[in-house]
Chains A and B, each alone.
Chain A
Amino acid sequence: QKEVEQNSGPLSVPEGAIASLNCTYSDRGSQSFFWYRQYSGKSPELIMFIYSNGDKEDGRFTAQLNKASQYVSLLIRDSQPSDSATYLCAVNPGTYKYIFGTGTRLKVLA
């Protein structure tokens, strides 16, 4: 069974701090990696995707990928209370059967 693992949290950070969310995956053949944000009672929305090893930055968000360690992370700089949500890591193992982790709940404290 291909798996994506995340710490469920909650991860609590003060406003303005950097939030670091982590994800590991089991299928070495995985080709694309995603971070979705899901507010309580809402549907997931894509915030970042990454295909290659290294960092990818978009505004306050940075996705990091290390294929050798099968590790994906999301950094949120200058965290805001509006960033409080559940963050879902997702992986495409090459079959378009997107596999999601259980999500990490982030709480940004004002």
Chain B
Amino acid sequence: EAQVTQNPRYLITVTGKKLTVTCSQNMNHEYMSWYRQDPGLGLRQIYYSMNVEVTDKGDVPEGYKVSRKEKRNFPLILESPSPNQTSLYFCASMPAHQEKLFFGSGTQLSVL
């Protein structure tokens, strides 16, 4: 089944403890992206990647890192999480030449 898989689905952590949210897609899509969704603020782009080893900042990149070493994987790294990073995170992928984002199921992160 074609899908974007995020893990974990739920995560509770404490301030300053490094964490990684994984994202993997099995559709051979070139484009991948991370969003956070907050009430009243909607979906905001954190980082995106047009292809392997190519990443760029979205609108809210502060406090996040990404890497794209393989086409299928695009992990989101929070080196030192803070409470203002408590949010619902979505990974998405998109094939070249078709502007349709396929979203993962989301990761609900709580930073205490």
Contacts from A to B (Cβ < 8 Å) = 1, 8, 32, 34, 36, 42-46, 49, 88, 90, 92, 96-103
Give the total number of A-B pairs whose CB atoms are below 8 A apart.
Answer: 46
Give 24 CB contacts A-B under 8 Å.
A8-B40, A32-B99, A34-B99, A42-B105, A43-B90, A43-B104, A43-B106, A44-B43, A44-B90, A45-B103, A46-B101, A49-B99, A88-B43, A90-B43, A96-B31, A96-B48, A96-B50, A97-B48, A97-B56, A97-B59, A99-B59, A101-B42, A102-B40, A102-B42
Q: In the bound complex, how far is the Cα of B99 from the Cα of A49, in angstroms? A: 8
Per-residue interface assignment for chain B, residues 59 to 89, with 1 indicating a CB less than 8 Å from any chain A CB and 0 otherwise: 1000000000000000000000000000000
CB distance from A53 to the nearest CB of B (A): 17
* With A32-B99, A44-B90 as contacts: A99 and B106 at CB distance below 8 Å: no
Per-residue interface assignment for chain B, residues 82 to 112, with 1 indicating a CB less than 8 Å from any chain A CB and 0 otherwise: 0000000010000000011101111000000
